[in-house]
Amino acid sequence: GKEVYVKEIVPGRALLISTKWRRNENITILNVYAPNVTAGSAQENKEFWEEIEEFFLRHPRIPRPDFMMGDFNMVEDAIDRLPTRSDVADAVDALDSLKIQIDLQDGWRQIHPSVTAYTYTSHQDSHSRLDRIYATQKMIETARNWEIKPATGIPNTDHRMVSVEAVNEDDPLVGKGRWTFPKYLAKDRTFMKTITELGRTAAQELSSFTERTEFQNAQIILAKLKAEIKNIARERSKAIRPQAEENLRKVQRQLTEVQANKSAPESVLKTEISILKRLESELEAKIQNQIR
């Protein structure tokens, strides 16, 4: 329709999409899948960024992207590879030139200036942050939840998923919503027996009323019952939290610590990171299956 503009800048590799976001505002996203950078050669990758830059120079009326995202198949900084190494300068310079032309910045790196995290692991256990999301400074200032996590549920991918939540600065503040107890509590016999007894007691108390008063009525009993169930649910959920979730949190903490380790040999770190990333993906998949 007229509300969506789609332009294939580089066939099969660069797609520009602009659509309505809120009221009369548009949001424009450039999706990229850059050519590989081989050992010592980045000509294709370099020419790819140059072609996109040339497109925007030739079409000044076409909307510039608020976000550019995808698999860049190269990194800008040595910190984004393990073992640490820089990519071919020609490709880095070409991407840098495009970023300046359309005014985009690496959002995740701006939020995490010194953190190491990786989205792709090769068969030789080398790691790199090939998948990135660039954004305008305006978008970065309001965006939240920059994440790198396993691409659970996406078939045939060996990359981790990068994501961010784009927020319109004019949107009203929305809270977290109502608290709900975890679904696994519905299968816990102890919890269900306890709240059944609470409900029975509340029903008996209600049936014992001879008249409704300001201090003795069904609404007060219901509010009290809900508060008791909520408190019991919080305590019980801590006691029986599924082992898979506990293991996932433990693995994620370990992964963060290992990726931040600057003292251990890189050969040791890259193997540990590979093991932890595989464990994290397996646990994420297990939890998703349980949810389904």
pLDDT bracket for residue 211 (50, 70, 90) = confident
Q: Mean of the pLDDT values across residues 215-237?
A: 92
How is 178-200 classified by DSSP, letter by letter?
-----GGGGG-HHHHHHHHHHHH
pLDDT of residue 155: 77
**Is residue 225 scored above 90 in pLDDT?**
yes
pLDDT of residue 103: 96
Q: Which residue has the higher pLDDT, 176 or 27?
A: 27
Q: What is the pTM of this model?
A: 0.79
pLDDT of residue 291: 66
The amino acid that residue 263 corresponds to is: S
**Is residue 128 scored above 70 in pLDDT?**
yes
- Cα 114 from chain centre: 19
Tokens of 24: 């009369």
**Is residue 200 scored above 90 in pLDDT?**
yes
Tokens of 180: 């709900």
pLDDT of residue 40: 66
pLDDT of residue 152: 78
Strand residue runs (E) in the chain? 4-10, 14-22, 25-33, 67-71, 81-82, 105-106, 120-121, 127-128, 131-135, 144-149, 161-165
**Is residue 24 scored above 80 in pLDDT?**
no
**Is residue 195 scored above 60 in pLDDT?**
yes
- For residues 288 and 152, is the Cβ–Cβ distance under 8 A? yes
pLDDT bracket for residue 208 (50, 70, 90) = confident
Count other Cβ atoms within 10 Å, centred on residue 31: 16
Q: What is the pLDDT of residues 150-193, one digit of tens each?
A: 987 777 788 999 999 998 877 777 777 888 888 888 888 999 99
**Is residue 145 scored above 60 in pLDDT?**
yes
Q: What is the pLDDT of residues 260-285, one digit of tens each?
A: 998 899 999 999 999 999 999 888 88
Among candidates 162, 93, 166, which has minimal Cα distance to 133?
Answer: 162
Q: What is the pLDDT of residues 36-85, one digit of tens each?
A: 987 667 999 999 999 999 999 999 999 999 999 999 999 999 999 999 98
- Cα distances from 232 to residues 87, 141, 227, 229, 237, in angstroms, run 55, 40, 9, 5, 8
Helices (H), the chain: 43-58, 89-102, 107-111, 137-142, 189-207, 218-240, 243-259, 266-291
Cis, bond preceding 83 (omega within 30 deg of 0): yes
Among candidates 26, 93, 94, which has minimal Cα distance to 65?
Answer: 26
CA dist 60 and 175 (Å) reads 39
Q: Mean of the pLDDT values across residues 78-105?
A: 94
**Is residue 242 scored above 80 in pLDDT?**
no
CA dist 119 and 149 (Å) reads 8
**Is residue 2 scored above 70 in pLDDT?**
no
Positive or negative, the CA dihedral 226, 227, 228, 231 is positive
Count other Cβ atoms within 10 Å, centred on residue 291: 8
- Cα 58 from chain centre: 34
